[in-house]
Structure 1
Amino acid sequence: MPRTILAGLAGGMTMNVTMLLTFRLLGFGWNGGGILLSSPVQSPKLIAIWTQIEPLPLVVANPAPIIIGMMLFGIGHAFIYRSVSAAWPTGIFQRAVRFAGLLFFMTFLFWEFFTPFNQLGEPLPLVALELLFWATIAFAEAFVIASVCERKVSGV
């Protein structure tokens, strides 16, 4: 159990850092102006939600609860990994790829389809870019969780 929690905390931290590098740095920009806000094809509704309509999303106005939430999701993901990984071929990379696929298809693909595409009218090219970001996030988190969970402990 302690290793699973540690794997989840490491995975959650990885998810936060990777989201910072993809969505914040490239997508929204440090001070605005990222491709997701400056693209001429972007949905005005999405831009307004992220920059104008009060209250702004917590991740913009007060990111601490979101960062903590992602850490908790990481712990949950590690427990899911522990429950399903035994059925997969051995090896960190092989298991990480499978787990990243699980996270991507069951969570991130659904999120992008249902919210940015469906509710916010985001155009498909930008949804595709966000899916690339989510795939990167899913693989980074899955690789860290698999690495911690599968690491062999030296006998003492």
Structure 2
Amino acid sequence: MRHTISIWRTLTAGLAGGVAFVLGTFVTFRTLGGSRQGAEGLLFDPDTQHPKVIAVWKEMEPLPRILDNPSLILAGLLLFGIGYAFLYRSVAPAWPAGLNRRAGRLGLVVWLGAVFGEFMGPFNVLHQPWNLSLLAWTFWAVCAFAEAYVIVLVLDRGRSRRERAAPLSARAAG
């Protein structure tokens, strides 16, 4: 018998994962990175950051939406969490069993999306230095893997050990 994950459980997992992602951004980019108005932090120190990044993020109008209208961006991050939960739900049967294996794969997918945006934006367009880009990519990893672990935990919780460990061919035959 194949265990079906409900839409509601998937939505719950996505929202919980999105919350984990948002909390990750709060700890990394806001607290350590200094992304809030009036703060410097690791990513916004004028001695190390390209002035273009600081100007676009903190000085030029209109300010980034996360500063100007944070609820819009936070809602978007929650929607991305829901999207990743549905993605995980669709590919999980093909992935090997185990929290770390599955969360690692999902975290990599989430991280690659975030790093692509960072690579094309701050690094490419705004000339952010390599070392600060690497730091930002590390911050994105914290957020991505926090989200992935929460999604996998919520969606895989309650599945029998035998079902989680069964190879794909055995599940397809059931």
**TM-score normalised by the chain length of structure 1:** 0.93
Selected match of 1:114 from 98, 110, 120:
120
- The 5-angstrom pairing of residues 129-148 of structure 1 reads 129-148=135-154
Once the two structures are aligned, what percentage of the paired residues are identical? Answer: 46
Instruction: Name the amino acid aligned to 2:99.
Output: I
2:16 corresponds, among 1, 5, 10, to 10
Structure 1 stretches of 4+ moved >2 Å:
none
Q: Which residue of 2 aligns with 1:51?
A: 58
* Residue 68 of structure 1: how far off its partner (Å): 0.7
Corresponding residue of 1:19: 25
Q: What amino acid is aligned across from residue 65 of structure 1 in structure 2?
A: L
Give the partner amino acid of 1:83: S
Give the secondary structure class of the aligned counterpart of 2:43.
helix
SS in 1 for 2:33: helix
The CA distance in 1 between the partners of 2:110 and 2:52, in whole Å, is 27
Partner amino acid, structure 2, of 1:58: R
CA distance in 1, matches of 2:101, 2:133: 27
Q: Distance in 2 between matches of 1:76 and 1:143?
A: 15
Superposed displacement of residue 29, structure 1: 5.5
Q: How does 1:56-95 map to 2 (within 5 A)?
A: 56-95=63-102
Q: Which stretches in structure 1 are left out of the alignment for 5+ residues?
A: none
Rg: which structure is higher? 2
For 1:10-37, what per-residue CA distance to the aligned partner results, in whole angstroms no more than 9, with x for missing partners?
0111111110110000011554111111
How far does the alpha carbon of each residue in 1:35-77 deviate from its partner, in whole angstroms, 9 at most, with x for none?
Answer: 1111512111110011110111111122010111111111011
Q: CA deviation at 1:103?
A: 1.4
- Normalized per residue, the structure richer in helix is 1
* Pairs aligned (count): 153
Q: Residue 35 of structure 1: which of 42, 56, 62 is its match?
A: 42
For 2:54 and 2:85, the matched residues in 1 are separated by: 34
In structure 1, C-alpha distance between the alignment counterparts of 2:72 and 2:35, rounded to whole Å: 21
What is the alpha-carbon distance in structure 2 between the residues aligned to residue 29 and residue 114 of structure 1?
19
Matched letter for residue 127 of structure 2: G
Cα-Cα RMSD? 1.4
Cα distance in 2, alignment partners of residues 3 and 140 from structure 1 = 18
User: Equivalents in 2 of 1:73, 1:80: separation in Å?
Assistant: 10
Worse-matched range after superposition: 122-131 or 25-34: 25-34
Aligned: 1:127 with 2:137: no
Shift of 1:109: 2.0
